Amino acid sequence: MRLRFQLILFTFLRTIMNTMQRMVYPFLTVFARGVGVEITSISYLVTTSWFLGIFAPVFGSVADHRGRKFGMLAGVLLFTIGMGTVALYPNFLTFSIAVILAAIGKILFGPSMQAYFGDNVPYEKRGTALAVTEAAWSLSFIFGVPLVGLLISSYGWSAPFPFLAGLGLLFFIVIWMVIPRRDEAQRMQSDQTQGKPATSKKIRAVLTNVPALAGIFIALWASAANEMINLIFGVWLEDSFGLKVAALAGASVVIGISELGGEGLVALTTDKLGKPRALVLGLTANAFAALLLPVIGRTELGALIGLFLFYITFEYVVVSHIPLMSEVMPEARATLLSFNLTGHSIGRVIGALLAAFIYQRFGFFQVALIAILFNVFALLALGELTQRLVILPRILALFHKPETSEA
Protein backbone atom coordinates (compact mmCIF):
# COMPACT_ATOMS: atom_id res chain seq x y z
CA MET A 1 0.00 0.00 0.00
CA ARG A 2 2.89 2.35 0.84
CA LEU A 3 4.52 1.80 -2.55
CA ARG A 4 1.21 2.38 -4.36
CA PHE A 5 0.82 5.69 -2.58
CA GLN A 6 4.39 6.63 -3.47
CA LEU A 7 3.76 5.63 -7.09
CA ILE A 8 0.78 7.99 -7.30
CA LEU A 9 2.69 10.72 -5.46
CA PHE A 10 5.71 10.58 -7.76
CA THR A 11 3.58 10.42 -10.88
CA PHE A 12 1.83 13.60 -9.78
CA LEU A 13 5.16 15.27 -8.98
CA ARG A 14 6.64 14.28 -12.35
CA THR A 15 3.54 15.72 -14.01
CA ILE A 16 4.26 19.07 -12.32
CA MET A 17 7.94 19.02 -13.30
CA ASN A 18 7.10 18.02 -16.87
CA THR A 19 4.52 20.82 -17.05
CA MET A 20 7.29 23.38 -16.57
CA GLN A 21 9.30 21.80 -19.37
CA ARG A 22 6.40 21.39 -21.78
CA MET A 23 4.55 24.66 -21.24
CA VAL A 24 7.30 26.59 -23.02
CA TYR A 25 6.39 25.03 -26.38
CA PRO A 26 2.75 26.07 -26.92
CA PHE A 27 3.33 29.44 -25.19
CA LEU A 28 6.67 30.21 -26.82
CA THR A 29 5.50 33.55 -28.22
CA VAL A 30 3.67 34.41 -24.98
CA PHE A 31 6.81 34.00 -22.86
CA ALA A 32 8.95 35.77 -25.48
CA ARG A 33 6.62 38.79 -25.41
CA GLY A 34 6.43 38.67 -21.62
CA VAL A 35 10.19 38.87 -21.09
CA GLY A 36 10.77 41.15 -24.11
CA VAL A 37 12.89 38.93 -26.37
CA GLU A 38 12.60 37.25 -29.78
CA ILE A 39 11.34 33.66 -30.01
CA THR A 40 14.81 32.59 -31.13
CA SER A 41 16.15 33.59 -27.70
CA ILE A 42 13.64 31.30 -26.00
CA SER A 43 14.43 28.51 -28.47
CA TYR A 44 18.16 28.80 -27.68
CA LEU A 45 17.31 28.66 -23.99
CA VAL A 46 15.34 25.45 -24.58
CA THR A 47 18.31 24.14 -26.54
CA THR A 48 20.58 24.79 -23.56
CA SER A 49 18.23 22.96 -21.21
CA TRP A 50 18.20 19.90 -23.47
CA PHE A 51 21.98 20.11 -23.84
CA LEU A 52 22.26 19.43 -20.11
CA GLY A 53 20.84 15.96 -20.80
CA ILE A 54 24.21 15.09 -22.32
CA PHE A 55 25.47 14.87 -18.74
CA ALA A 56 22.65 12.53 -17.66
CA PRO A 57 25.05 9.67 -16.78
CA VAL A 58 26.89 12.02 -14.40
CA PHE A 59 23.74 13.39 -12.76
CA GLY A 60 22.19 9.93 -12.67
CA SER A 61 25.09 8.57 -10.62
CA VAL A 62 24.19 10.88 -7.71
CA ALA A 63 21.47 8.47 -6.61
CA ASP A 64 24.00 5.63 -6.45
CA HIS A 65 26.56 7.55 -4.41
CA ARG A 66 24.37 9.67 -2.11
CA GLY A 67 21.13 7.69 -2.00
CA ARG A 68 17.79 7.77 -3.82
CA LYS A 69 16.17 10.11 -1.32
CA PHE A 70 19.01 12.63 -1.65
CA GLY A 71 18.73 12.59 -5.46
CA MET A 72 14.98 13.13 -5.41
CA LEU A 73 15.12 15.91 -2.82
CA ALA A 74 17.94 17.66 -4.67
CA GLY A 75 15.95 17.54 -7.90
CA VAL A 76 12.78 18.93 -6.34
CA LEU A 77 14.75 21.63 -4.48
CA LEU A 78 16.39 22.90 -7.69
CA PHE A 79 13.01 22.90 -9.44
CA THR A 80 11.44 24.89 -6.59
CA ILE A 81 14.26 27.45 -6.48
CA GLY A 82 13.95 27.97 -10.23
CA MET A 83 10.21 28.57 -10.06
CA GLY A 84 10.62 30.84 -7.06
CA THR A 85 13.10 33.14 -8.79
CA VAL A 86 10.59 33.98 -11.52
CA ALA A 87 7.79 34.36 -8.98
CA LEU A 88 9.87 36.98 -7.12
CA TYR A 89 11.56 38.74 -10.06
CA PRO A 90 9.84 38.00 -13.38
CA ASN A 91 12.27 38.80 -16.22
CA PHE A 92 14.29 37.04 -18.90
CA LEU A 93 17.24 36.31 -16.60
CA THR A 94 15.13 34.63 -13.92
CA PHE A 95 13.09 32.84 -16.60
CA SER A 96 16.36 31.45 -17.99
CA ILE A 97 17.47 30.38 -14.51
CA ALA A 98 14.13 28.63 -13.99
CA VAL A 99 14.37 26.68 -17.25
CA ILE A 100 17.95 25.55 -16.51
CA LEU A 101 17.33 24.61 -12.86
CA ALA A 102 14.13 22.77 -13.79
CA ALA A 103 16.06 20.76 -16.39
CA ILE A 104 18.80 19.80 -13.91
CA GLY A 105 16.19 19.02 -11.27
CA LYS A 106 14.37 16.68 -13.62
CA ILE A 107 17.60 14.90 -14.57
CA LEU A 108 18.35 14.39 -10.87
CA PHE A 109 14.85 13.37 -9.84
CA GLY A 110 14.00 10.95 -12.66
CA PRO A 111 16.85 8.40 -12.30
CA SER A 112 16.67 8.63 -8.49
CA MET A 113 12.97 7.84 -8.50
CA GLN A 114 13.38 4.98 -10.99
CA ALA A 115 16.23 3.53 -8.95
CA TYR A 116 14.12 3.77 -5.80
CA PHE A 117 11.32 1.73 -7.34
CA GLY A 118 13.95 -0.63 -8.77
CA ASP A 119 15.12 -1.26 -5.19
CA ASN A 120 11.64 -1.79 -3.78
CA VAL A 121 9.42 -3.24 -6.55
CA PRO A 122 9.86 -6.90 -7.64
CA TYR A 123 11.19 -7.26 -11.18
CA GLU A 124 8.04 -8.93 -12.49
CA LYS A 125 5.99 -5.87 -11.44
CA ARG A 126 8.59 -3.17 -12.05
CA GLY A 127 7.71 -2.54 -15.70
CA THR A 128 4.11 -1.69 -14.84
CA ALA A 129 5.19 0.57 -11.98
CA LEU A 130 7.63 2.56 -14.09
CA ALA A 131 5.17 2.74 -16.99
CA VAL A 132 2.69 4.47 -14.67
CA THR A 133 5.24 7.15 -13.82
CA GLU A 134 6.02 7.63 -17.54
CA ALA A 135 2.39 8.62 -18.09
CA ALA A 136 3.29 11.88 -16.33
CA TRP A 137 4.78 13.11 -19.62
CA SER A 138 1.37 12.87 -21.29
CA LEU A 139 -0.59 14.02 -18.25
CA SER A 140 1.41 17.25 -18.15
CA PHE A 141 -0.01 18.18 -21.55
CA ILE A 142 -3.53 16.97 -20.77
CA PHE A 143 -3.90 18.69 -17.39
CA GLY A 144 -0.84 20.78 -16.57
CA VAL A 145 -0.50 22.93 -19.68
CA PRO A 146 -4.23 23.83 -19.89
CA LEU A 147 -4.06 24.94 -16.25
CA VAL A 148 -1.02 27.04 -17.11
CA GLY A 149 -2.92 28.55 -20.03
CA LEU A 150 -5.77 29.48 -17.71
CA LEU A 151 -3.39 31.15 -15.26
CA ILE A 152 -1.59 33.07 -18.03
CA SER A 153 -4.80 34.28 -19.66
CA SER A 154 -6.13 35.45 -16.29
CA TYR A 155 -3.06 36.89 -14.56
CA GLY A 156 -0.21 37.22 -17.07
CA TRP A 157 2.78 35.22 -18.34
CA SER A 158 4.49 34.83 -14.95
CA ALA A 159 1.40 33.56 -13.09
CA PRO A 160 2.25 29.82 -13.30
CA PHE A 161 5.59 30.21 -11.50
CA PRO A 162 4.45 30.97 -7.94
CA PHE A 163 1.91 28.16 -8.29
CA LEU A 164 4.61 25.69 -9.42
CA ALA A 165 7.02 26.93 -6.71
CA GLY A 166 4.41 26.31 -4.02
CA LEU A 167 3.76 22.77 -5.28
CA GLY A 168 7.49 22.11 -5.43
CA LEU A 169 7.96 23.18 -1.82
CA LEU A 170 5.02 21.03 -0.75
CA PHE A 171 6.41 17.95 -2.48
CA PHE A 172 9.88 18.51 -1.02
CA ILE A 173 8.35 18.26 2.46
CA VAL A 174 6.22 15.25 1.51
CA ILE A 175 9.16 13.31 0.03
CA TRP A 176 11.26 14.10 3.10
CA MET A 177 8.53 12.53 5.25
CA VAL A 178 7.44 9.66 2.98
CA ILE A 179 10.79 8.10 2.00
CA PRO A 180 12.04 6.27 5.10
CA ARG A 181 15.66 6.75 6.09
CA ARG A 182 15.81 3.10 7.17
CA ASP A 183 15.37 1.82 3.59
CA GLU A 184 18.06 4.20 2.34
CA ALA A 185 20.51 3.18 5.06
CA GLN A 186 19.97 -0.52 4.38
CA ARG A 187 20.44 -0.10 0.66
CA MET A 188 23.62 1.98 1.01
CA GLN A 189 25.06 -0.57 3.44
CA SER A 190 24.23 -3.37 0.99
CA ASP A 191 25.94 -1.51 -1.85
CA GLN A 192 29.08 -1.00 0.22
CA THR A 193 29.16 -4.67 1.18
CA GLN A 194 28.66 -6.02 -2.34
CA GLY A 195 30.79 -3.41 -4.13
CA LYS A 196 29.96 -1.81 -7.48
CA PRO A 197 31.51 -2.16 -10.92
CA ALA A 198 33.51 0.87 -12.03
CA THR A 199 31.32 3.39 -13.82
CA SER A 200 34.15 4.31 -16.19
CA LYS A 201 34.41 0.71 -17.45
CA LYS A 202 30.71 0.59 -18.26
CA ILE A 203 30.85 3.93 -20.04
CA ARG A 204 33.82 2.72 -22.09
CA ALA A 205 31.95 -0.50 -22.93
CA VAL A 206 28.95 1.44 -24.22
CA LEU A 207 31.06 3.82 -26.30
CA THR A 208 32.88 0.92 -28.00
CA ASN A 209 29.76 -1.16 -28.70
CA VAL A 210 28.47 -0.57 -32.25
CA PRO A 211 24.89 -1.84 -31.69
CA ALA A 212 24.64 0.32 -28.56
CA LEU A 213 25.82 3.39 -30.45
CA ALA A 214 23.39 2.65 -33.29
CA GLY A 215 20.56 2.44 -30.75
CA ILE A 216 21.59 5.76 -29.21
CA PHE A 217 21.52 7.34 -32.68
CA ILE A 218 17.95 6.09 -33.17
CA ALA A 219 16.98 8.10 -30.08
CA LEU A 220 18.99 11.09 -31.30
CA TRP A 221 17.46 11.36 -34.78
CA ALA A 222 13.91 10.49 -33.71
CA SER A 223 14.01 13.20 -31.02
CA ALA A 224 15.54 15.71 -33.46
CA ALA A 225 12.61 15.07 -35.81
CA ASN A 226 10.11 15.51 -32.99
CA GLU A 227 11.72 18.71 -31.70
CA MET A 228 11.51 20.32 -35.16
CA ILE A 229 7.71 20.23 -34.85
CA ASN A 230 7.56 20.38 -31.04
CA LEU A 231 9.28 23.73 -30.69
CA ILE A 232 7.42 25.49 -33.48
CA PHE A 233 3.87 24.12 -33.50
CA GLY A 234 2.55 26.81 -31.11
CA VAL A 235 4.05 29.59 -33.24
CA TRP A 236 2.72 27.93 -36.40
CA LEU A 237 -0.82 27.66 -35.01
CA GLU A 238 -0.79 31.27 -33.83
CA ASP A 239 0.61 32.58 -37.12
CA SER A 240 -1.75 30.49 -39.27
CA PHE A 241 -5.00 30.82 -37.37
CA GLY A 242 -4.44 33.53 -34.76
CA LEU A 243 -5.02 31.04 -31.95
CA LYS A 244 -4.86 32.59 -28.49
CA VAL A 245 -3.64 31.19 -25.20
CA ALA A 246 -6.75 29.13 -24.41
CA ALA A 247 -6.82 27.57 -27.87
CA LEU A 248 -3.11 26.71 -27.68
CA ALA A 249 -3.74 25.04 -24.33
CA GLY A 250 -6.51 23.04 -26.00
CA ALA A 251 -4.07 21.92 -28.69
CA SER A 252 -1.76 20.65 -25.94
CA VAL A 253 -4.58 18.43 -24.65
CA VAL A 254 -4.87 16.86 -28.09
CA ILE A 255 -1.14 16.15 -28.07
CA GLY A 256 -1.26 14.70 -24.55
CA ILE A 257 -4.12 12.36 -25.49
CA SER A 258 -2.23 11.26 -28.61
CA GLU A 259 0.82 10.40 -26.48
CA LEU A 260 -1.29 8.32 -24.12
CA GLY A 261 -2.66 6.60 -27.22
CA GLY A 262 0.88 5.87 -28.39
CA GLU A 263 1.73 4.26 -25.06
CA GLY A 264 -1.43 2.13 -25.30
CA LEU A 265 -0.55 1.00 -28.82
CA VAL A 266 2.88 -0.09 -27.65
CA ALA A 267 1.33 -2.23 -24.93
CA LEU A 268 -0.98 -3.85 -27.50
CA THR A 269 1.37 -4.40 -30.45
CA THR A 270 5.10 -4.02 -29.82
CA ASP A 271 5.75 -7.40 -28.19
CA LYS A 272 3.64 -9.15 -30.84
CA LEU A 273 5.29 -7.40 -33.79
CA GLY A 274 8.79 -7.49 -32.35
CA LYS A 275 10.64 -4.37 -31.22
CA PRO A 276 12.63 -3.71 -34.45
CA ARG A 277 9.57 -4.14 -36.66
CA ALA A 278 7.51 -1.90 -34.37
CA LEU A 279 10.22 0.77 -34.62
CA VAL A 280 10.25 0.58 -38.42
CA LEU A 281 6.47 1.01 -38.39
CA GLY A 282 6.62 3.91 -35.93
CA LEU A 283 9.43 5.84 -37.64
CA THR A 284 7.84 5.42 -41.08
CA ALA A 285 4.44 6.50 -39.78
CA ASN A 286 6.01 9.51 -38.04
CA ALA A 287 7.68 10.59 -41.30
CA PHE A 288 4.36 10.35 -43.14
CA ALA A 289 2.64 12.31 -40.35
CA ALA A 290 5.26 15.07 -40.70
CA LEU A 291 4.62 15.16 -44.47
CA LEU A 292 0.88 15.28 -43.88
CA LEU A 293 1.01 18.15 -41.38
CA PRO A 294 1.51 21.09 -43.78
CA VAL A 295 -0.90 19.49 -46.29
CA ILE A 296 -3.92 19.03 -44.03
CA GLY A 297 -2.88 21.80 -41.62
CA ARG A 298 -4.54 24.53 -43.68
CA THR A 299 -7.50 24.48 -41.30
CA GLU A 300 -7.55 24.40 -37.51
CA LEU A 301 -9.14 20.95 -37.44
CA GLY A 302 -6.69 19.61 -40.00
CA ALA A 303 -3.74 21.00 -38.03
CA LEU A 304 -4.95 19.34 -34.82
CA ILE A 305 -5.48 16.02 -36.62
CA GLY A 306 -1.99 16.28 -38.09
CA LEU A 307 -0.44 17.02 -34.69
CA PHE A 308 -2.36 14.10 -33.18
CA LEU A 309 -0.92 11.70 -35.78
CA PHE A 310 2.59 13.12 -35.44
CA TYR A 311 2.72 12.80 -31.66
CA ILE A 312 1.04 9.40 -31.39
CA THR A 313 3.57 7.91 -33.83
CA PHE A 314 6.52 9.54 -32.05
CA GLU A 315 5.38 8.24 -28.67
CA TYR A 316 5.05 4.80 -30.24
CA VAL A 317 8.68 5.05 -31.38
CA VAL A 318 10.03 6.20 -28.00
CA VAL A 319 8.23 3.61 -25.89
CA SER A 320 9.02 0.76 -28.32
CA HIS A 321 12.67 1.78 -28.36
CA ILE A 322 13.23 1.49 -24.58
CA PRO A 323 12.70 -2.31 -24.27
CA LEU A 324 14.87 -2.92 -27.34
CA MET A 325 17.71 -0.89 -25.81
CA SER A 326 17.31 -2.63 -22.45
CA GLU A 327 18.58 -5.89 -24.00
CA VAL A 328 21.38 -4.60 -26.23
CA MET A 329 23.89 -4.63 -23.33
CA PRO A 330 22.39 -6.44 -20.32
CA GLU A 331 25.73 -6.25 -18.50
CA ALA A 332 25.58 -2.44 -18.61
CA ARG A 333 21.84 -1.88 -18.85
CA ALA A 334 21.50 1.20 -16.63
CA THR A 335 24.51 2.90 -18.16
CA LEU A 336 23.25 2.32 -21.69
CA LEU A 337 19.78 3.62 -20.82
CA SER A 338 21.41 6.76 -19.37
CA PHE A 339 23.25 7.22 -22.66
CA ASN A 340 19.95 6.66 -24.44
CA LEU A 341 18.61 9.68 -22.54
CA THR A 342 21.72 11.56 -23.67
CA GLY A 343 20.90 10.63 -27.27
CA HIS A 344 17.39 12.04 -26.88
CA SER A 345 18.82 15.23 -25.39
CA ILE A 346 21.33 15.75 -28.21
CA GLY A 347 18.53 15.21 -30.71
CA ARG A 348 16.40 17.82 -28.94
CA VAL A 349 19.33 20.24 -29.12
CA ILE A 350 19.72 19.69 -32.86
CA GLY A 351 16.00 20.15 -33.48
CA ALA A 352 15.74 23.22 -31.26
CA LEU A 353 18.72 24.89 -32.93
CA LEU A 354 17.23 24.40 -36.40
CA ALA A 355 13.47 24.74 -35.91
CA ALA A 356 13.03 28.48 -35.28
CA PHE A 357 15.73 29.42 -37.80
CA ILE A 358 14.20 27.34 -40.62
CA TYR A 359 10.63 28.37 -39.81
CA GLN A 360 11.38 32.10 -39.80
CA ARG A 361 13.36 31.99 -43.05
CA PHE A 362 11.60 29.30 -45.07
CA GLY A 363 8.32 28.25 -43.45
CA PHE A 364 6.63 25.29 -41.84
CA PHE A 365 6.77 23.00 -44.89
CA GLN A 366 10.58 23.06 -44.79
CA VAL A 367 10.50 22.33 -41.04
CA ALA A 368 8.43 19.22 -41.79
CA LEU A 369 10.86 18.13 -44.53
CA ILE A 370 13.80 18.26 -42.12
CA ALA A 371 11.79 16.20 -39.61
CA ILE A 372 11.23 13.58 -42.33
CA LEU A 373 14.96 13.53 -43.12
CA PHE A 374 15.82 12.94 -39.47
CA ASN A 375 13.38 10.01 -39.35
CA VAL A 376 15.19 8.52 -42.37
CA PHE A 377 18.47 8.82 -40.45
CA ALA A 378 16.84 7.00 -37.51
CA LEU A 379 15.71 4.20 -39.82
CA LEU A 380 19.28 3.84 -41.12
CA ALA A 381 20.57 3.61 -37.55
CA LEU A 382 17.93 0.98 -36.79
CA GLY A 383 19.11 -1.02 -39.81
CA GLU A 384 22.67 -0.91 -38.46
CA LEU A 385 21.52 -1.96 -35.00
CA THR A 386 19.44 -4.94 -36.12
CA GLN A 387 22.08 -6.08 -38.60
CA ARG A 388 24.78 -6.02 -35.95
CA LEU A 389 22.60 -7.81 -33.40
CA VAL A 390 22.02 -10.63 -35.89
CA ILE A 391 25.53 -10.88 -37.37
CA LEU A 392 27.74 -10.03 -34.39
CA PRO A 393 27.00 -13.17 -32.30
CA ARG A 394 27.82 -15.33 -35.34
CA ILE A 395 31.14 -13.54 -35.88
CA LEU A 396 32.06 -13.85 -32.22
CA ALA A 397 31.20 -17.55 -32.31
CA LEU A 398 33.87 -18.09 -34.98
CA PHE A 399 36.54 -16.87 -32.57
CA HIS A 400 35.19 -18.67 -29.52
CA LYS A 401 37.35 -21.54 -28.42
CA PRO A 402 35.55 -24.10 -26.29
CA GLU A 403 37.24 -24.83 -23.01
CA THR A 404 38.98 -28.20 -22.80
CA SER A 405 39.56 -29.98 -19.54
CA GLU A 406 43.11 -30.84 -18.61
CA ALA A 407 43.94 -34.51 -18.32
> What is the 8-class DSSP label of residue 121?
S
Residues 328 and 186 in one domain: no
Q: What is the count of structural domains for the chain?
A: 2
Fill in the DSSP letter of residue 391.
H
Q: Is there a single domain that holds both residue 188 and residue 211?
A: no
**How far apart, in whole angstroms, are the C-alpha atoms of residue 237 and residue 248?**
8
Q: How far apart are CA 215 and CA 218, in angstroms?
A: 5
Total residues belonging to the chain: 407
Q: Same domain for 173 and 209? A: no
The verdict on residue 189 lying in a domain is yes
Quote the pLDDT of residue 225. 94
- Given a cut of 80, whether residue 24 has pLDDT beyond it is yes
CA pair distance 403, 302, nearest whole angstrom: 65
Tell whether 103 and 228 lie within a shared domain.
no
Section 265-270 average pLDDT: 73
Reported pTM: 0.71
Pairwise CA distance, residues 37 & 18, whole Å: 24
Asked if residue 201 and residue 176 are part of one domain, the reply reads: no
The reply to whether 154 and 225 lie within a common domain is no
Pair (255, 110) in one structural domain: no
Q: Give the lowest-confidence range in 6-20, 122-136, 218-232.
A: 122-136
In a domain, 50, yes or no: yes
For residues 74 and 252, which has the higher predicted lDDT (pLDDT)? 74
**359 domain residue, yes or no:** yes
Please indicate, yes or no, whether residues 173 and 321 belong to a single structural domain of this protein. no
| Residue 207 structural domain | 197-388
Give the pLDDT confidence score for residue 151 in this predicted structure: 94
Confidence of residue 221 (pLDDT cuts 50, 70, 90): very high
Task: Give mean pLDDT, residues 208-216.
Answer: 88
Burial per residue of 125-138, b for 16 or more beta-carbon CB atoms within 10 angstroms, e otherwise: eeeebbeebbbbbb
User: Is 397 part of any domain?
Assistant: no
CA pair distance 302, 309, nearest whole angstrom:
11
CA gyration radius for the chain?
Answer: 22
Domain CATH code at residue 366: 1.20.1250.20
Q: Is the pLDDT higher at 141 or at 393?
A: 141
12 & 157 share domain: yes
Q: Are residues 129 and 265 in the same domain?
A: no
404 pLDDT band (50/70/90 cuts)?
Answer: very low
Residue after which a domain boundary falls, among 194, 214, 236: 194
Residue 399 belongs to a domain: no
- At 406 the pLDDT is 38
pLDDT recorded at residue 87: 95
Query: Per the domain annotation, does 395 fall within a domain?
Result: no
At residue 405 the predicted structure's pLDDT band, cuts being 50, 70 and 90, is: very low
**Do 170 and 239 sit in the same domain of this protein?**
no
Is residue 208 in some structural domain?
A: yes
Cα separation, 39 vs 42, whole angstroms: 5
Q: Tens of pLDDT along 292-351?
A: 998 988 888 888 888 899 989 998 898 778 777 777 777 766 677 778 888 988 998 899
Percentage, residues of the chain above pLDDT 90 = 30
Q: Is 396 domain-assigned?
A: no
pLDDT single digits (tens) 130-168? 667 777 888 888 889 889 989 999 999 999 999 999 999
pLDDT band at residue 102 using 50, 70 and 90 as cut-offs: very high
Q: Determine the Cα–Cα distance for residues 221 and 291; give it in Å rounded to an integer.
A: 17
> Per-residue pLDDT tens for 31-77?
999 999 998 888 889 888 878 888 877 766 666 667 778 888 999 99
Q: In this structure, what are the phi and psi dihedrals at residue 122, rounded to the nearest 5 degrees? A: -55, 150
Considering the domain architecture, whether residues 106 and 218 belong to the same structural domain is answered as no
Q: Where is pLDDT greater, at 388 or 41?
A: 41
The residue out of 141, 170, 194 marking a domain boundary is 194
Does the structure show a pLDDT above 50 at 395? no
Last-in-domain residue among 194, 225, 253: 194
**96-110, 244-258, 278-292: the lowest-pLDDT one:** 244-258
